Each structure stands twice: as structure tokens, then as C-alpha cells.
Amino acid sequence: MSEQIEIHFNGILSEEHFYKFNQYCRPPWARFIGKWFPWFYLGLMIVEAIGIPEYIASPRFSFDISILLLLLLLPQLTKRQIKKVWQSNKSIQEGFSGVATEENFVCNSSYGESKFPWNVMLKYKEVENIILLYIAINQAFILPSSFFNSEEDWQQFRQLVAERVPKKQ
């Protein structure tokens, strides 16, 4: 008779964990564009300035500078919006605990208990020692490795999730 797997976890999410969750919810193409498009746009402006001397004196240059500044500020505006969401949601700032078994994922907080069979989990993603366990497209349990009692528990949880839940592409 095999022994029942029971992996306990508990902890309090940090604002940094929440930011990483929001960052990795975005599709890869959106992260790529947000990171590299401002520099590509700047390169185009430089090429245009070299090729067309009157470009710098034109109204188009002012417009391009405005667009470039907006593109460079967009990540900071996004980070600020995520911080507002974090500050307004008290339920994610409180600690939670739970247990993962071969059949279920159970999460407890001061607001109640949630019990999910593994087959209702949509997908999972692992980034920087955090497992994002999705129950909807943009709703997930955020489980950092620090929530587990030992490295062995963390590795066992990773293996259990990989066996039971489809991986996010």
C-alpha cells in the first residue's frame, strides 16, 4: 500500500510576488514589445535624424519624442497600477496555508477554505522559484518556494503539480 502524499505550505505573499504574477500573466509578445519596442523606436528616430537633417526641426520629431517618452514610462505606470491593486486587495496581503495531496489542492485563509481537485486546474507556470497555479485565465494561486517547510517539500510539490496540471506554454 502506497503512502498518501501530503505537502503542507503556508506564508504571506509579498508585493514582489504579486508583481511577478502580474508580469507573467502578460503574453510573451506583450512583454517583448514592452521591453524592446522603445529602443527600436529610438533607433528609428536616430536613423531618421541622420538621414533627414530637417527631421529634428519638424513637428514630427516632437511627436516622436512624446511617443518615446510614453513608451519609456509605460512600465512604470504598469508597476504603479499593480501596486494600487495590491494595496486595495486585503485578502491577498494576508497569509494563507494549505495542503496538496494526490487528489486535491486545499487553500485556507481567514476568509475561508478552497478545495480544488487537480483536474479543475487550468494550467501552471513556474518562474523564479514561484509556481503560478491557474484556476482561471488571470487568476492563480501564487506559491513561492519559501511557503514550504523544506526543499524536499518544494521539489515534491513541483513534481505533483507537473504530474497533475497542464503546463502553460
- At 108-127, the pLDDT tens digits run 998 899 999 999 999 999 98
Q: Which class does domain 6-13+90-164 fall in?
A: mainly beta
The residue assigned the cell 494561486 is 141
pLDDT of 135 > 90? The answer is yes
The domain ranges of the chain are: 6-13+90-164, 18-88
Q: Specify the length of the chain in residues.
A: 169
- Mean pLDDT over 144-152 rounds to 95
Give Cα 107 to chain centroid, integer Å.
Answer: 19
Rounded CA separation 49/69 (Å): 17
Q: For 33-81, write each residue's pLDDT tens digit.
A: 888 899 999 999 999 999 998 988 899 999 999 999 998 898 888 889 9
Between 147 and 22, the higher pLDDT residue: 147
Task: Indicate the pTM of the whole model.
Answer: 0.74
Give CA separation, 92 vs 19, 37, 40, 127, 156, in Å: 12, 33, 37, 19, 25
